[in-house]
């Protein structure tokens, strides 16, 4: 954090329709992970700024909720058009700020715009029902918005999450205070400008700041009845504790994953290995809660598969994330990079066999920045930390299995339950395994892809609630029952 007055690029937060600095005058510097150069600053917002944003959202709420759903939907569609119109600027800033490859970030902008349009189309589905409780009277329910919604989004897909995660609460008639991650906040600042141009003052507020200050103030604010968070399990658990200290809140959490991909011996091995590489999301250095970071290979194909997998991952091109030819860029931050390197050493010390990556790529280009070659460890066993713990980095663990009951037990033997992938050509095996695996989002003969309208969410410590479908829209409403005594 800095209070220096001179800087190359300053961005503002959006509160009550105005682009403003923080109340303290302090700033957070954002660093390009490819070369460790400071590329911009955002305000270090705190409790006072959150209070102002919540007040602005509360003031804007009655008029926004009173709009016809079709009118609210029109605002969402207008924002989608605005984002596509600023795609080049958003992508350039996002790539520099996150280290994610440019071809992926272009998809992110489109995905965010598409989510806005999807929930615009669902706006009139926030509806109640009639109940034949008696024949003499009329009994029915309505769905009403909560009021002010707090949304806290992570660093790995900043603009996509900023856009897609305000769509459902706005469509349902709520106003929003959005808190982006302090690790890659610059594109969220551009997003704030777009929201200023589209929405009435106070409907969308974007407050940048640290989790321990701005995030904590948003979680604890008594006038925020509905909260949603995407991030790590420890932070999600801390939010659960803090949220209930000031008021009763509705809370949804999309947390971490240590997601299994189970390859049966009858599967198309080449396609399965291609999906394993794709499912690890190496294009953004494995920094995804849905990454299939535990690959379970049947013993009959294990040795051949590990050799092929190591060759495929080693062939990925690590380079400038602005280059369309790069398959992977740098890790997002120094803290995450050091964490990843720590897990590499832990895995070695616990007996895992390194078959690809494990350190900086060769070459002068990679001497500065947070670079780590996509990494594969074979012969991983359930007692190892890289089997049990989410790394949130480019580390893929490969596990040998022989018995179906054994592999399902191993797949479920972690605290997480977000995604899973099952590879087999036997329909009975596919469906029985899908039922037995403790994950909320399962691919059969696929990996990584999300499909609009299907609910995404986890089991166990991977979270509560679902997103990306109709259930998400309804989760931003409260039910009211009315009895008409005729």
Question: What is the per-residue pLDDT across 128-145, written as a single tens digit (0 to 9) for each?
Answer: 999 999 999 999 999 999
Domain shared by 167 and 277, yes or no: no
**DSSP summary character for residue 75:** H
Model confidence over 438-457: pLDDT tens digits?
A: 999 999 999 999 999 999 99
Q: What is the pLDDT of residue 421?
A: 98
Q: Is residue 175 part of a domain?
A: yes
Q: What is the pLDDT of residue 118?
A: 97
Residue 5: is its pLDDT beyond 50? no
Residue 3: is its pLDDT beyond 50? no
Q: Is residue 4 part of a domain?
A: no
Domain shared by 138 and 174, yes or no: yes
Do residues 344 and 331 lie in contact, with contact meaning Cβ atoms separated by under 8 Å? no
Range of the domain at 430: 260-454
| Residue 8 pLDDT grade (very low, low, confident, very high; cuts 50, 70, 90) | low
Model confidence over 264-304: pLDDT tens digits?
A: 999 999 999 999 999 999 999 999 999 999 999 999 999 99
Domain shared by 71 and 203, yes or no: yes
Catalytic site includes residue 144: no
The catalytic position among 254, 390, 467, 468 is 254
Domain shared by 121 and 93, yes or no: yes
Catalytic site includes residue 254: yes
The catalytic position among 104, 289, 390, 468 is 289
Model confidence over 233-251: pLDDT tens digits?
A: 999 999 999 998 989 999 9
Distance CA 257, CA 439 (A): 9
User: What pTM did the predictor assign?
Assistant: 0.94
Model confidence over 47-85: pLDDT tens digits?
A: 999 999 999 999 999 999 999 999 999 999 999 999 999
* Nearest residue to 119 via CA among 450, 479, 470, 477: 470
| Residue 9 pLDDT grade (very low, low, confident, very high; cuts 50, 70, 90) | confident
Number of domains comprising the chain: 2
Q: What is the pLDDT of residue 10?
A: 86
Q: CATH number of the domain at 322, please.
A: 3.40.309.10
* Percent residues over pLDDT 90 in the chain: 95
Q: Is residue 3 part of a domain?
A: no
Distance CA 288, CA 396 (A): 13
Q: Is residue 162 part of a domain?
A: yes
Domain shared by 72 and 93, yes or no: yes
Write down the mean pLDDT value for the chain.
Answer: 95
Model confidence over 365-380: pLDDT tens digits?
A: 899 999 999 999 999 9
Q: How far is CA 13 from the centre of its chain?
A: 21
Domain shared by 215 and 269, yes or no: no
Distance CA 370, CA 383 (A): 29
């Amino acid at each position: 954090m800095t209070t220096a007055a001179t800087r190359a690029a300053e961005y503002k937060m959006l509160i009550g329709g105005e682009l403003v600095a923080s109340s303290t005058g302090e700033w957070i510097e954002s660093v390009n992970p490819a070369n460790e150069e400071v590329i911009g600053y955002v305000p270090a917002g705190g409790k006072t700024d959150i209070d102002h944003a919540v007040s602005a959202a509360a003031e804007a709420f009655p008029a926004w909720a009173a709009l016809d759903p079709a009118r609210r939907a029109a605002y969402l569609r207008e924002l989608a058009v605005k984002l596509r119109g600023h795609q080049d600027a958003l992508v350039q800033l996002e790539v520099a700020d996150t280290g994610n490859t440019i071809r992926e970030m272009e998809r992110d902008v489109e995905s965010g715009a598409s989510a806005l349009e999807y929930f615009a189309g669902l706006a009139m589905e926030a509806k109640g029902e009639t109940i034949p409780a008696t024949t003499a009277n009329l009994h029915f329910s309505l769905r009403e918005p909560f009021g002010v919604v707090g949304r806290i989004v992570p660093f790995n897909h900043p603009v996509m999450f900023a856009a897609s995660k305000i769509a459902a609460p706005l469509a349902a008639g709520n106003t929003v205070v959005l808190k982006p991650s302090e690790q890659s906040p610059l594109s969220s600042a551009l997003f704030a400008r777009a929201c200023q141009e589209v929405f009435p003052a106070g409907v969308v507020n974007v407050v940048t700041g640290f989790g321990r200050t701005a995030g904590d103030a948003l979680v604890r604010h008594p006038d925020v009845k509905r909260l949603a968070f995407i991030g790590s399990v420890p932070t999600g658990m801390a939010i659960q504790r803090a949220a209930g200290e000031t008021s009763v809140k509705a809370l949804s959490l999309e947390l971490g994953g240590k997601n299994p991909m189970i390859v049966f011996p009858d599967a198309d091995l080449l396609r399965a290995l291609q999906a394993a590489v794709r499912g690890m999301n190496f294009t953004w250095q494995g920094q995804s809660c849905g990454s299939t970071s535990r690959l379970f290979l049947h013993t009959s194909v294990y040795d051949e598969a590990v050799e092929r997998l190591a060759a495929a991952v080693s062939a990925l091109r690590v380079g400038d994330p602005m280059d369309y030819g790069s398959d992977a860029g740098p890790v997002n931050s120094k803290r995450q990079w050091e964490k990843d390197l720590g897990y590499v050493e832990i895995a070695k010390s616990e007996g895992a066999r390194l078959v690809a990556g494990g350190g900086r790529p060769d070459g002068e280009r990679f001497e500065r920045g947070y670079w780590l070659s996509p990494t594969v460890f074979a012969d991983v066993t359930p007692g190892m930390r890289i089997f049990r713990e989410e790394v949130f980095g480019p580390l893929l663990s490969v596990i040998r299995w022989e018995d179906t009951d054994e592999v399902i037990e191993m797949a479920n033997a972690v605290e997480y339950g977000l995604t899973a992938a099952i590879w087999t050509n036997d329909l009975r095996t596919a469906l029985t395994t899908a039922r037995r695996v403790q994950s909320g989002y399962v691919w059969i003969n696929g990996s990584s892809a999300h499909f609009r309208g299907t609910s995404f969410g986890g089991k166990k410590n991977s979270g509560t609630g679902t997103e990306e479908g109709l259930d998400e829209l309804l989760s931003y409403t409260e039910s009211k029952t009315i009895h008409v005594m005729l």
